[in-house]
Amino acid sequence: MYYSAMLNIKGKKTVVVGGGKVAERKIKALLDACADITVVSPDLSDHLLRMHQEKKISWKQKTFEKDDVNGAFLVIAATNEREVNEQVYQSCEAHQLINVVDAPEKSNIIMPATFKRGDLIISVSTSGKVPGLARKLKNNLAEQFDEHFADYVEFLKEGRKRVLEEINDPEQKRIVLHQLLDKSFLEASNEERHKQLEMLLNANRSSE
C-alpha cells in the first residue's frame, strides 16, 4: 500500500541510473523540483547530453557500481536492463528512497503521472500497476484544467492571504473564502476577479 505525499527534494542528492528515454522523463520532473541530479550511465540520450552540457545535471560516464548511490536521498533505477535495475535496488540502504521503473513491487516510492498549472499540481496513480491508464487520465484532466487555472490559483493564494489579514470575524472569513471558489471567479478575467475581491473585502469590513 502507498501513502500519497508531496516531497520537497530541492537540493537533495538524487541518483538516476540510466541514460535513455525513461531516465529522461524522470529527470525532467526532477529538474522541475530542483533536485541535485547525478546520472550514472555509459551513454546519454541527446537531450540528456544537452542537459549535462548546460550543467543542469552531473554525469558519471560509467556502468553502475554500488558506491554510486552513497549519500543519495532518492535513487531511480531507469535502465532497460532488469539485472542492472536489480543491482541498483540491492545497493540501496533501507532509509533511502528507491524507484525501480520495471519493478514497482521493489520500490518504496513511485512517481504518479503529473501535470502542473502554476502552483496547482494534479497527480494520477494506479499504484504502479497500469502506467498507461494513469497517463491517459492525466492527459484527460490536463485538458479540463487548462492554463487558465494557473492564474486562478495565484489569485486564490493572494485572496486567501488578504481575507485572513483583513477580515476579523472567523465566520465571515469562512464565507468569503468559500465565495472565492465560486465558478464566477474561475471564469472571470484577472482584473474582474480583483474587483470582486475588493467588493467582498469592503462589504465584510464594514459589517464588523
pTM of the shown model = 0.86
Locate all alpha helices (DSSP H) within 58-189, ordered by sequence. Answer: 82-91, 131-144, 148-166, 170-179, 183-187
Residue numbers of the chain with a pLDDT score lower than 70: 206-208
The pLDDT score that the predictor gives to residue 205 is: 79
Candidates 158, 174, 162; CA nearest to 118 is 158
The pLDDT score that the predictor gives to residue 208 is: 46
What are the pLDDT digits (tens) for 129-146? 999 999 999 999 999 999
- CA 91 to chain CA centroid, Å, is 26
The pLDDT score that the predictor gives to residue 206 is: 53
The pLDDT score that the predictor gives to residue 2 is: 87
The pLDDT score that the predictor gives to residue 86 is: 97
The pLDDT score that the predictor gives to residue 1 is: 81
The pLDDT score that the predictor gives to residue 101 is: 94
